[in-house]
Amino acid sequence: MSDQGKSGRHALVTGAGSGIGRAIALALAANGHRVSLCGRRAAPLEAVRAEIAAAGGEAFVIDGFDVTDGQSIDSGIGKASAWGGHIAVLVNSAGEAPSAPFDKTDLGMWSRVIGINLTGTYLVTQAALASVKRAGNGRIVNVASTAGLTGYAYVSAYCASKHGVVGLTRALALELARTDVTVNAVCPGFTDTPLLDGAVETITGKTGRTADEARASLARANPQGRLVTPEEVADTVLWLASEKATAITGQAIPVAGGEVLGG
């Protein structure tokens, strides 16, 4: 366990009930952080809390946390701070990734994806920033995507939102460069999570392939020929949250087996 973990610092993770958010929450807790688990539904968050507790860690559930609603965010940040003190590590992991051809991407889908992925990151970060600054040696890590570094067909709204997250990350990192707060993004490639199931369903619906064939086609986008695991993304976040990454800020780090080179 690192010195960072031994300090028992408070981390807040959005989208913590499943997929990458869950893996990040578990990794931070295993490394000694007290973790506020934020999301809209209580049941998956309670399941993650139980996993953390069973391993001897500390976690607090904040359900009804809607990253598109400022009042919900302010309430959740207040509850988290009352439980765990200042938020030393903020991880923006909540996200949505529907797919559709551009001419079938209506304004409702576009607004929903931008609202959750990009505006949600902005709203949560703005609400938590004062706490992160006060915590000392603060860390903000945004879960973006390789779709924030390159383009993919049929996910124009998702690509636009994740490019925005990377831009926000870089701008805020420069604003905070003279403080002790770092701001970075991790950019996973196709990752073996429930969110990937939507892409698999789209492929099977359009091509008639089986789910296994669809997953294999996604894995082929990775030069290593496999899907990324949520735990690999979590390990990258854990490093960025540590004192060892103090000089790393404004970066968009691909976790994608070489699919995208550089950030």
For residue 100, what are the contacts with CB-CB under 8 A and spacing of at least 6?
109, 154
Q: Measuring CA to CA, how many Å separate 253 from each of 7, 100, 111, 120? A: 26, 27, 26, 20
Choosing from 122, 152, 154, 158, the catalytic residue is: 158
Cα(121)–Cα(113) distance, rounded to whole angstroms? 12
* Cβ neighbours for 162, distance < 8 A, ≥ 6 positions apart: 117, 118, 144, 145, 147, 148, 187
- Bridge partners for 182 per DSSP: 139
Active site residue 122: no
C-alpha gyration radius of the chain: 18
| Active-site annotation, residues | 158
